A = this chain, B = another copy of it.
């Protein structure tokens, strides 16, 4: 079979990068010609993970149809989160843990989504089902993905399966889950050296009943580290709104120690935030108590508001 590229979403996070590498290792073990690639710059948490595992980042690509006819997706399915030319290639496999939307194929495919906290938790099952051994390095990548997506099991997206998978992978990787996990999350939450663009790196765009919504999220150990820089951040968000014709931009600043967030909303539809969370925005900002998961506590809530 001809070569396939394996990749996660734009604005890659730790799960997207690590699961792309893990799925490519699984496919290679099955004798397929695959390469893990990425659609954007690494964040500091993922840089920490790759350095700690001692492997290079997947190659950065802008488009995929110039290289291959067939691709495998991890950690996403919505076209606007994927390669710009995703409609020009055949999707062979999807391994994901998100809702399904804006996704269509002409042919049957392998699609495995489970409502768990992390793509890597599903991949661990696939390795077992296909009887492929997981190397120490890949196990470290996979457990890092789970720690990242579940905020070390603090996120409401975290399931019992994620914890069991992480414990098994930590054992293969030979790491202390709690100690390594906190070190990794703190590395990602250190915003002191981040540019404004990096603060907004983890942004995903959604189509909600015809409304264009972008939701960015960043993990911090103190939200003031970001809020004091909003004078620099705001023009960048306003530019994104103008350039992409967004109706709403929500920037979620999540404190990994308190497990609360501050939401900063801009655009013409900020009233959706007030309606969704029964809050009043003050200077476009509001506390979102207990909100740490974009997938579970933001996207479905806003989808419902915009479906009315």
Chain B residue at minimum C-beta to C-beta distance from A97? B108
Contacts of A101 in B (CB 8 A): 104-105
Interface 1/0 per residue, A67-108 and B, CB below 8 Å: 000000000000000000000000000000111111111111
A164 to chain B, nearest CB (A): 15
Tell me whether A108 and B99 are in contact (CB under 8 A).
yes
- B112, B125, B295, B296: the one contacting A111 at CB < 8 Å is B112
Which of A122-171 touch B at CB < 8 Å? Answer: 125, 129
Given A103-B103, A107-B115, A108-B114, 20 new contacts (CB under 8 A): A98-B108, A99-B104, A99-B105, A99-B107, A99-B109, A100-B100, A100-B109, A101-B104, A106-B303, A106-B304, A106-B307, A108-B295, A109-B113, A109-B115, A110-B113, A110-B115, A111-B112, A111-B113, A112-B112, A129-B129
Contacts of A109 in B (CB 8 A): 99-100, 113, 115
- B98, B103, B125: the one contacting A100 at CB < 8 Å is B103
Tell me whether A100 and B104 are in contact (CB under 8 A).
yes
Asked if A245 lies at the interface with its beta carbon under 8 angstroms from chain B, I say no
Tell me whether A110 and B114 are in contact (CB under 8 A).
yes
Complex alpha-carbon distance, A105 and B300, angstroms: 9
Complex alpha-carbon distance, A235 and B108, angstroms: 33
Complex alpha-carbon distance, A97 and B108, angstroms: 6
Complex alpha-carbon distance, A125 and B97, angstroms: 20
Which of A167-210 touch B at CB < 8 Å? Answer: none
A160 to chain B, nearest CB (A): 14
Complex alpha-carbon distance, A238 and B129, angstroms: 49
Top 10 A-B pairs, shortest CB-CB distance: A111-B113, A108-B115, A106-B303, A101-B104, A99-B105, A106-B300, A107-B300, A110-B114, A100-B105, A99-B108
